[in-house]
Amino acid sequence: MKENKAIVGFSKFTKEQKIKWLQEQLDLGESPNSIFEQFESSDKESQQIIVDLSENHLSNFHFPFAVAPNFLINGKFHVLPFVTEESSVVAALAKAAGFWAKRGGFHAEVISTIKKGQLHFTWKGKPEKLKEEFNSIAKLLRTEAMAISHKMEKRGGGIQNIELKYLPEILPNYYQLDVDFDTKDAMGANFINSILEQFGKSLISYFNKQTSWSVEERDGEIIMAILSNYVPESVVKVWVECPVSDLSVSDREANNIANKFVQAVHIAKNDVSRAVTHNKGIFNGIDALALATGNDFRAIEAGGHAFAARNGKYAGLSNAEINNGIFKFELEIALAVGVVGGVTALHPMAKMAMKILENPCAEELMQYFAVAGLASNWSAVNALTTTGIQKGHMKMHLTNILNVLNATSEQKQAAKTYFVDKEVSFSDVEQFLKDDRRN
């Protein structure tokens, strides 16, 4: 930065002014404008949708939109769409889909779909008094939130349960309203937050109106009202299984593959350092599907990692076992997803992703998320316990290295042939190009 001071009113600048200011302050190379322009859509309508998604928009950031076919889920074939920058992820997903399609496919089941929100507040009266009053307070809260909740109720969802929690161990005079919601096909963040904010207003107004209460009792204070991304009652389960002997052509190798796989999953259950990486492999698939469908991948990740620590210690999310000669690999995960509203209904590519998925309901989409998680986890652990991960990774990474080094298409072809039976490293590829350019 040339000037070490805050800029005031940046958001009010036109796009051109913003870029000019950046150029004045930073070294953006020769012609940043042409790069910013190059990545914008030529279709005005689509471009406006992207522009409207964020403050201070300068351009679009492209990632590959890819698909993996052959996902056999509960007896039906599906194509899953993915958006990710990690070259090996979709190849790994496609490999898992093809492998398990020949062995019965993925079995998926939604266990529960309840989402949570919290109203955090303080109140200085006796806790017993609030507890006694609580049934009538809850009734009033539901009634006064009706204007917001009635449409969701018509769709069969809405507020399910309101629980009062007194938690002085966290803060003096601190309470929570812990509220359960069913948001049907919506992720429901706006619905939940609007209801909770209304609850806050109704609660304070209720306190203020209690003329028989002391002045202190009439004066509660709302700290905040917000949904929780921890959704341990919105859970989906997915598994694959097959006779151990189906894992390889030789029985000895099949047993070895199954045993090592189970050991690797057991390590992730018991060692935090390994668990985090193991779960990252799960989210390689889940996040890529979340991005493609315009779902909030940060919410899904945060909730998923909290679920991984639900027993007091962070652990791998999947389980593997061998029972009576059957290998079973399973994932149970807490997820809140939506198929209506938000970016899913807005972004043209997210809409396309939903079409590729044949416009699923939220429960079906939950199953596809879990399938994507188990599939990418299977591919990673299978590679780690057999060939090692670098073989597949570096082959995919070769293209990235060649692009970084500005290789021509002839050089790319020559490098791919040359490295087909060799270890790929950045320095070796660099040397290969130097030699090629010298010849």
Q: How far is the CB of 338 from ligand MEV (least distance, A)?
A: 26
State both tokens at 323. Answer: 């029972």
280 binds ligand MEV per the rule CB under 6 A: yes
- State the DSSP string of 161-215: EEEEEE-TTTSTTEEEEEEEEE-TTB--HHHHHHHHHHHHHHHHHHHHH-TTS-T
**Nearer Cβ to ligand MEV (200/281):** 281
Looking at beta carbons only, is 278 or 305 nearer to ligand MEV? 278
Question: Of 281, 304, 373, 392, which lies in the binding site for ligand MEV, with binding defined by CB under 6 A?
Answer: 281
Interactions with ligand MEV, residue window 32-91 (CB under 6 A): 86
Sign of the dihedral defined by the CA atoms of residues 380, 382, 386, 392, in that order: negative
- Looking at beta carbons only, is 7 or 309 nearer to ligand MEV? 309
Strands of the sheet with 326-334, listed across from one edge:
107-110, 235-243, 326-334, 318-323
Map the footprint of ligand MEV across residues 389-408, applying CB under 6 A: 389
Among 380, 394, 424, 433, binds ligand MEV (CB under 6 A): 380
Q: Is 278 in the site for ligand MEV (CB under 6 A)?
A: yes
Task: Decide if 202 contacts 145 (C-beta within 8 A).
Answer: yes
Nearer to ligand MEV among residue 58 and residue 384 (C-beta) = 384
Binding mask 98-127 for ligand MEV (x = CB under 6 A): ------------------------------
Q: Which is nearer to ligand MEV, 48 or 277 (CB)?
A: 277
Residue 210 binds to ligand MEV (criterion: CB under 6 A): no
- Using DSSP's 3-state secondary structure scheme, residue 346 falls into coil
Question: Does the footprint of ligand MEV cover residue 240 (CB under 6 A)?
Answer: no
DSSP state of 244: G
Q: Which tokens sit at 54?
A: 């964020």
**Distance (Å, rounded) from C-alpha 263 to C-alpha 255?**
12
Q: How far apart are CA 100 and CA 68, in angstroms?
A: 13
Judge whether 90 and 292 are in contact, CB under 8 Å: no
Among 73-81, 112-120, 300-308, 381-389, which window interacts with ligand MEV (CB under 6 A)?
A: 381-389
Q: Whose Cβ is closer to ligand MEV: residue 92's or residue 189's?
A: 92
SS3 221: strand
Classify 325 as helix, strand or coil: coil
| 284 binds ligand MEV per the rule CB under 6 A | yes
CB of 282 to ligand MEV, least distance (A): 8
Nearest alpha carbon to residue 267 among 326, 312, 303, 320: 320
Both tokens of 99, joined, read 């492998």
Query: Could you give the C-alpha distances from 396 to 283, 334, 393, 403, 425, in angstroms and in order?
Result: 19, 31, 5, 12, 12
Stretch that binds ligand MEV, among 155-163, 213-221, 351-359, 379-387 (CB under 6 A): 379-387
Name the residue nearer to ligand MEV (CB basis): 198 or 284. Answer: 284
Identified binder of ligand MEV from the candidate list 31, 208, 277, 359, rule CB under 6 A: 277
In the complex, residue closest to ligand MEV by CB: 281
Q: For ligand MEV, which is the closer residue by CB, 152 or 275?
A: 275
Q: Which stretch binds ligand MEV (CB under 6 A): 5-13, 212-220, 277-285, 350-358?
A: 277-285
Closest to ligand MEV by CB, 162 vs 381, is 381
Q: Which is nearer to ligand MEV, 317 or 380 (CB)?
A: 380
Q: With contacts defined by CB under 6 A, name the span among 43-51, 162-170, 176-184, 274-282 that binds ligand MEV.
A: 274-282
Least Å from the CB of residue 280 to ligand MEV: 5
- The total of other beta-carbon atoms located within 10 Å of residue 161's CB is 11
For residues 302 and 295, is the Cβ–Cβ distance under 8 A? no
Distance, in Å, from the CA atom of 98 to the CA atom of 68, rounded to the nearest integer, reads: 9
List Cα–Cα distances, 45 to 40, 41, 50, 59, 348, in angstroms: 12, 9, 9, 15, 10
Q: Give the Cα separation of 403 and 398 in Å (integer).
A: 9
Residues that bind ligand MEV (CB under 6 A): 86, 277-278, 280-281, 284, 380-381, 384, 389
